[in-house]
Amino acid sequence: MKSARLFVACDLPAHVKTRLAAIQKMLQQSGADVKWAEPHNLHLTLKFLGATDREKIPEIKKALDALSRGQKSFVAQLDRLGTFGPLSAPRVIWAGLRDETPLRKIALAIEKGLLPLGFPQEARRFQAHLTLGRIRSSRNRVALADLLANAQETFKEEALRVDNITLFESLLDTAGPVYNDLHRIRLL
């Protein structure tokens, strides 16, 4: 295999994945046509690299090591649920963070650090979020919107320690993507 489908993300603690899986399960009761993210795959994407020549992986690791020096771990607050697209016709369901500033700084450092390796800067502004599911059709969309509105109203904040920057490889499988941890940097 000559290329790998790569992304850089923060892996999540097990308790956060468990909490988000419970929210997904509740939303699944709508019967909506949603491709739900597997709870063990939930993460905070910092940079999607896409199809990348495997020979570049050592350089990527080295760049990530360099830019992570001095980066400190921090506690973020998972504080809301939301959608890309209006609630009446969402495309993506996500969980978001109260203050994105620390993650935005890390994402910007990654953008700048990987630019010399040929990875272009993202055109869109970074928005920290955890994708819970992608809507595939309008089936039971109203029921989903009702459950999501209720979940948003009752959402309780959750502290989340961001303590890693991880290079993942995404392997596409008929059962869904499998994420392999290629390089994990622990933040102090």
Domain boundaries, the chain: 3-186
- CA triplet 182, 84, 31: central angle to 5 degrees? 90
Question: Does the active-site annotation cover 183?
Answer: no
Exposure of 92 by Cβ count < 10 A (0-12 exposed, 13-18 middle, 19+ buried)? middle
For domain 3-186, give the fold.
Answer: Cyclic Phosphodiesterase; Chain: A, (3.90.1140)
Task: State the catalytic residue, choosing from 15, 40, 43, 183.
Answer: 43
pLDDT at 127 > cutoff 80: yes
Question: Does the active-site annotation cover 129?
Answer: yes
What pLDDT, on the 0 to 100 scale, is given for residue 79?
A: 93
- Note every long-range contact of 176-181, with CB atoms under 8 Å and residues 24 or more positions apart, other chains counting: 176/38, 176/41, 177/38, 177/41, 179/41, 179/43, 181/11
Q: What is the pLDDT of residues 59-83, one digit of tens each?
A: 999 999 999 998 999 999 999 999 9
pLDDT at 13 > cutoff 80: yes
